[in-house]
Amino acid sequence: MNDPQSISIKDYTYDLPISKIAQFPSEKRDNSKLLVSNNGIISDTVFGRIDAFIPNKSMVIFNDTKVVQARLLFKKSTGSSIELFCLEPYQFIGDTSLAFQQKGSCFWKCFVGNLKKWKTETLEKTININKTEIILYANKIKQEADTVIVQFNWQPQHLTFAEILENVGLIPLPPYITRNLLENDKQRYQTIYANYDGSVAAPTAGLHFTDEVLNKLSKKSISKQYVTLHVGAGTFKPVSSQTMREHQMHAEKIFVNITLLENLLLNLTNNIICVGTTSVRTIESIYWFGVKLLTDKIDYLNMNINQWEPYQTNVNKAFTAEESLKAIIDLMKRNKMQTLSGYTQLIILPSYKFRFVNGIITNFHQPQSTLLLLIAAFLGDSWKSIYKYALDNNFRFLSYGDCCFFIQNKNQSL
């Protein structure tokens, strides 16, 4: 394996005109364009026909995280505006979705817009929810690197933080969508199968799916499975270092049910297709957690994978995907666990060997991003010709853009 840390990010760029960045989603979710690369053969169609390209008996894995309305705008008495972008609960132990059920008070790690204007004063905002006047307060507790720990309090205290955000928060569209928010962004920047609160960015490959498309998959005996990875703001963090050695990958919270693992074990000889890079990172992290169990011979009840774990020779043993899965399932059964949780910081770079995934449904990604590096790891140098094809054929790029399906088929019938 080549040294992935020496990869130069400048080798993974392309010219992306602003005009190619979608500012609005397609009018109908599954009317977006679809580029298909099947073992290197490129074709294009509409997303509503993706079932025709997914082989029978495939297993398709979705990320069922739900985007929260994470942006809160306050105005000081001086007239200055302060924006608080809620990233993740601070020092909260347990399921992230439960952090949204806190009442009266909570602590969050936030990005702060116009931080220089916020000294020590309490920010205050009055809102009306169900004809009840609610006063929301924000206090700056301390600064940590480029984030601020904020304590939120509200009166009366019977509402949950989820209800506060739902009524006063704004959908956190990516920074490259430069228009003002529209009312339908609340619905369109959310997958139809979103279930668990926790993301500050959508798993955008899933935005194209409709009930009609999902029903078509079911008719082909295609198994639909779900994982949860709460997408953090780090997904938009550009690679600013010359090589990957200096890049710090963001960690994201993941949840995997034992049923998913058992189905994954049963489908190792079938096509395993992930919807979005978040699902890819979650599924591939599972393999490395199993390797850790097999290598260290001790029980880890939380799955925590650092970014360079797959590239370290002391853990890069020749364990099979089956051995890894069985080790995890055995751990969970012995400890009567239904759900495995933890964090993944896994970075997938060219030269990475995929253990489970042989198909990816995803959007087109920004130049010089870790997401593009993941695609390059899967496709090899052919990513360049695929992206050129998309640019030359009027595909729309990034979160609200069109979709692509890459598969290295295991020779199953369509």
Q: Distance between CA atoms of 270 and 247, rounded to whole angstroms?
A: 35
- Going by C-beta distance under 8 Å and a sequence separation of 6 or more, which residues neighbour residue 104? 153, 154, 155, 157
- Going by C-beta distance under 8 Å and a sequence separation of 6 or more, which residues neighbour residue 115? 82, 148
Q: DSSP secondary-structure letter at 200?
A: S
**Phi, psi angles (nearest 5°) of residue 248:** -100, 110
Instruction: Give one DSSP letter per residue of 120-188, joined into a string.
Output: SPPEEEEEEETTEEEEEEEEEEEEETTEEEEEEEEESTTSBHHHHHHHH-B----TT--SPP-TTHHHH
Give the confidence band of 77 by pLDDT, cuts at 50, 70, 90.
confident
Q: DSSP secondary-structure letter at 50?
A: G
Q: What pLDDT does 412 receive?
A: 58
Q: What pLDDT does 274 receive?
A: 98
Task: Please name the helix (run of DSSP H) or strand (run of DSSP E) that holds residue 404, with its range, or none.
Answer: strand 403-407
* pLDDT tens digits along 315-328: 556 899 999 999 99
Q: Which of 21-25, 82-86, 98-102, 286-290 has the lowest mean pLDDT?
A: 98-102
Query: What tokens does 410 get?
Result: 């295991």
Instruction: Tell me the three state secondary structure of residue 60.
Output: strand
Has residue 173 got a pLDDT over 90?
Answer: yes
Pinpoint the alpha helices (H) of 36-104: 96-99
Q: What pLDDT does 116 receive?
A: 93
Has residue 414 got a pLDDT over 80?
Answer: no
Domain 4-66+189-407 has CATH 3.40.50.300: no
Give the confidence band of 20 by pLDDT, cuts at 50, 70, 90.
very high
Average of per-residue pLDDT across 21-31: 97
Dump strand ranges (E) for 230-289.
252-257, 272-275
Look at strands 272-275 and 59-63 and give their pairing: parallel
* pLDDT tens digits along 317-371: 689 999 999 999 999 999 999 999 999 999 999 999 999 999 999 999 999 999 9
What pTM was estimated for this model as a whole?
A: 0.93
Q: What pLDDT does 367 receive?
A: 96
Q: Distance between CA atoms of 225 and 261, rounded to whole angstroms?
A: 10
Look at strands 339-344 and 303-305 and give their pairing: parallel
Location of structure tokens 């609200």: 400
- Going by C-beta distance under 8 Å and a sequence separation of 6 or more, which residues neighbour residue 253? 88, 96, 198, 229, 230, 341, 342, 343
Q: Considering only CA atoms, which of 233, 250, 247, 331 is closest in space to residue 286?
A: 331
Spans of all domains in the chain: 4-66+189-407, 70-170
Average of per-residue pLDDT across 261-271: 97
Q: What pLDDT does 60 receive?
A: 98
Q: What pLDDT does 24 receive?
A: 98
**Phi, psi angles (nearest 5°) of residue 234:** -60, -15
